[in-house]
């Protein structure tokens, strides 16, 4: 199923007519690429440096975690218990920060090179990997004990699910257990079911903006909406769980500049990392009505 833009559809919790910025956090990185959220007091960021920085919602630096290898972290995520995970792509490892100590959690055998990940509601781990020659991309599923369960590479017609080569692909798990992948090189958000079946590809809305759609990151909220950064067009696309376009959060509403990483907090506020502005913006896009 190939999904481009569609008409606005009904949804459970009303969105604000005009989203607005609640606050922003200056990260101090030369470039800010990613953000992850755990609870009301913990925002984790990564940038162009061999360090991870953790802030509270007021923007105060809580902790800086140096990467022992001297490499910049490729991705960051939290486990269900609050332990921090990060990928060291050059070291080919997934690592865990626990009690101020860093341990290698996964080092895949063979030439596979992890580059992005997410922790699931079942405390399992999904990791995107490239083969060393860049000819194949895998979505690898690990148990809570870090045992490999399965690997997804192709759809039910035997075609590759994801683009090949060393490109950006970030992923998240939706509340309905779908797996959502932002495939930058393919210019698509790709969604597969928990059983590994392709549900749809969202390829943007041609003509709305000047630059081609190239999603950099993807996240989901409590309403199973899918949000993805369109960094070249300085906006965020919001989709329903079936891939139909609902609306944009754009430069006019929230003064977005080169949005890269994103996630949502426990109140469904959006956290967006702006690469060159070295900030994380916290954006309100739902009203106060609860289901």
Structure confidence by residue, pLDDT tens digits, 106-132: 999 888 899 899 999 999 999 999 876
Structure confidence by residue, pLDDT tens digits, 166-215: 666 788 999 999 999 999 999 999 999 988 899 999 999 988 898 999 99
Asked if residue 165 has pLDDT above 90, the reply is no
Structure confidence by residue, pLDDT tens digits, 15-25: 999 999 999 99
Which domains does the chain possess? 2-286 (2.120.10.30)
Q: How would DSSP label each residue in the chain?
A: -EE--------SSPEEEEEEEEEEEE---SSEEEEEEEETTEEEEEESSSEEEEE-TT--EEEEEE-TTSPPPSEEEE-TTS-EEEEETTTTEEEEEETTEEEEEE--STT-EEEEEEE-TTS-EEEEEE-TTSS-EEEEEE-TTS-EEEEE-B-TTS-BSS--SS--EEEEE-TTS-EEEEETTTTEEEEE-TTS-EEEEE---TTSSSSPP-EEEEEE-TT--EEEEEGGGTEEEEE-TTS-EEEEE-HHHH---SEEEEEE-TTS-EEEEETTTTEEEEEEEE-S---
pTM: 0.92
**What local confidence, expressed as pLDDT, does residue 51 receive?**
96
Instruction: Give me the chain's average pLDDT, please.
Output: 90
Per-residue pLDDT band for 5 (boundaries 50, 70, 90) equals: very low
């Amino acid at each position: 199923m190939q999904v481009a833009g569609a008409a606005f559809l009904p949804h459970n919790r009303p969105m604000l007519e005009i989203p607005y910025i609640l606050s922003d956090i200056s990260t101090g990185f030369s470039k800010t690429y990613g953000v992850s959220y755990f609870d009301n007091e913990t925002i984790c960021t990564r940038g162009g440096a061999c360090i991870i920085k953790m802030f509270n919602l007021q923007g105060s630096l809580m902790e800086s975690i140096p990467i022992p290898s001297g490499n910049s972290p490729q991705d960051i995520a939290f486990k269900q218990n609050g332990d921090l995970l990060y990928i060291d792509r050059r070291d080919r490892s997934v690592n865990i920060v626990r009690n101020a100590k860093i341990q290698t959690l996964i080092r895949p055998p063979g030439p596979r090179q992890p580059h992005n990940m997410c922790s699931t509601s079942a405390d399992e781990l999904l990791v995107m990997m490239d083969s060393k020659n860049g000819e194949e991309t895998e979505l690898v599923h690990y148990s809570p004990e870090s045992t490999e369960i399965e690997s997804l590479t192709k759809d039910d017609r035997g075609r590759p699910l994801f683009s090949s080569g060393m490109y950006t692909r970030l992923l998240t798990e939706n509340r309905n257990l779908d797996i959502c992948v932002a495939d930058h090189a393919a210019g698509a958000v790709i969604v597969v079911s928990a059983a590994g079946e392709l549900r749809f590809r969202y390829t943007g809305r041609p003509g709305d903006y000047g630059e081609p759609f190239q999603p950099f990151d993807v996240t989901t909220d409590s309403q199973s909406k899918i949000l993805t950064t369109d960094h070249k067009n300085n906006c965020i696309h919001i989709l329903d769980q079936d891939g139909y376009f609902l609306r944009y959060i754009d430069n006019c509403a929230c003064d977005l500049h080169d949005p890269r990483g994103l996630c949502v907090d426990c109140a469904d506020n959006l956290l967006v990392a702006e690469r060159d502005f070295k900030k994380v913006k916290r954006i309100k896009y739902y009203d106060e009505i609860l289901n």
